A = this chain, B = another copy of it.
Amino acid sequence: MQATVFSPHDHTHCVSSAISNAQNLCVERGVRLTPVRQRVLELVWRSHQPIGAYELLAGLVKEGFNSAPPTVYRALEFLCTQGLLHKLEGINAYVGCCNPDTPHQGHFLLCKDCHQAQELDSQYISLAIKLSADQHGFEIKRHTIEIVGICQACLDKPKKLESKL
């Protein structure tokens, strides 16, 4: 059992290191982490759980950025392309990537109780998918792996009403 996003931790540290890591990466890659883009990245990380485009947009507006949807969708597209964010298709929400240095598609555990998303990088899952695809002569471009359930921390808590995530 390892430390995860589900366990308590100093999240301001996660945020600031994600940002500075992103800044370095963008410099290395010769792409621009503009103010809107950085702000969106920061808002995603700060939320500590998957967050939707329009909620991010509301955050931008509060700080004087433009309030039209394309603003945030463009930033999200850039950040996802750079591997700094992942989109969770099942809930139309975005999470920060924990390891953006090596671009990849993530595997996610989504807790339907606390709404945290834990990114995995399981070689077993990757391999199993590769094998299945090979059996069908199928060439993989990308994949979506989203596992919904209850995290350890929530299982340990006294039971309460469940949302319908």
The listed residue with most B CB atoms (<10 A of its CB), out of A107, A118, A138, A151, is: A138
**Quick one: which of A127-165 are within 8 Å of B by CB?**
127-129, 131-133, 135-152, 155
Nearest opposing residue in chain B for A4, CB measure: B136
**Quick one: which of A91-139 are within 8 Å of B by CB?**
107, 109, 111-112, 118, 120, 122, 124-125, 127-129, 131-133, 135-139
- Choose one: B4, B125, B149; the contact of A139 (CB below 8 Å): B149
Contacting pair A128 B122 (CB below 8 A): yes
Q: Determine the distance from Cα of A152 to Cα of B138 in the docked complex, in whole angstroms.
A: 5
- Choose one: B89, B120, B124; the contact of A90 (CB below 8 Å): B89
Q: A144 with B90: in contact, given A127-B128, A138-B109, A150-B138 (CB under 8 Å)?
A: yes
Contacting pair B138 A151 (CB below 8 A): yes
Contacting pair A137 B124 (CB below 8 A): no
Contacting pair B1 A146 (CB below 8 A): no
In whole Å, how far is A4's beta carbon from the nearest beta carbon of chain B? 6
Q: A133-B147, A137-B151, A141-B150 are in contact. List 7 more A-B contacts (CB 8 A).
A: A1-B135, A118-B136, A120-B132, A122-B128, A137-B155, A139-B155, A140-B147
**What are 25 A-B contacts with C-beta separation under 8 Å?**
A1-B135, A1-B136, A1-B137, A109-B132, A109-B136, A112-B141, A118-B136, A118-B138, A120-B136, A122-B128, A122-B131, A125-B128, A133-B147, A133-B149, A136-B152, A138-B147, A138-B149, A138-B152, A139-B149, A139-B155, A140-B149, A141-B148, A143-B147, A144-B147, A145-B145
